[in-house]
């Protein structure tokens, strides 16, 4: 399943997508993120998966912007489970 966190505004689509079939909740992306955007949660199926923290979901364009194209979260993920819409 694909879980999207983010929003669309006049400047574009700003979504972080977690593929919950690929994500095993290892937490490597959480450790790699310099802004504390991510956390491992239990999903509705009692599986550990990564999620964007509630407080960052409406500002993802700004909080993730400085990472540019070489995002530590993406680079650190062994499953390629976290992707971005921009």
Map the footprint of ligand SF4 across residues 12-41, applying CB under 6 A.
23-29, 32-33, 35, 37-38
Q: In this structure, are residues 40 and 48 in contact, taking their beta carbons and an 8 Å threshold?
A: yes
Give the separation between CA 82 and CA 73, rounded to whole angstroms: 7
Expressed in angstroms, the distance from the first to the final Cα of the chain is: 20
Q: Which two tokens stand for residue 26?
A: 């290892």
Neighbours of 68 (CB within 10 A): 7
Among 6, 15, 57, 63, binds ligand SF4 (CB under 6 A): 63
> Is 51 an interacting residue with respect to ligand SF4 (CB under 6 A)?
no
Give min distance, CB of 70 to ligand SF4, in A: 9
Positions touching ligand SF4 (CB under 6 A) are 23-29, 32-33, 35, 37-38, 50, 63-64, 67, 71-73, 76-77, 79, 81-82
């Amino acid at each position: 399943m694909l879980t999207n966190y983010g929003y669309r505004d006049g400047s574009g689509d700003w979504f972080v997508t977690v593929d919950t079939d690929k994500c095993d909740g290892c937490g490597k992306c959480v450790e790699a993120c310099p802004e504390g955007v991510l956390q491992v949660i239990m999903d509705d199926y009692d599986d550990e998966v990564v999620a964007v923290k509630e407080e960052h979901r409406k500002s993802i364009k700004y909080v993730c912007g400085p990472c540019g194209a070489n995002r530590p979260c993406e680079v650190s993920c062994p499953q390629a489970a976290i992707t971005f819409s921009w």
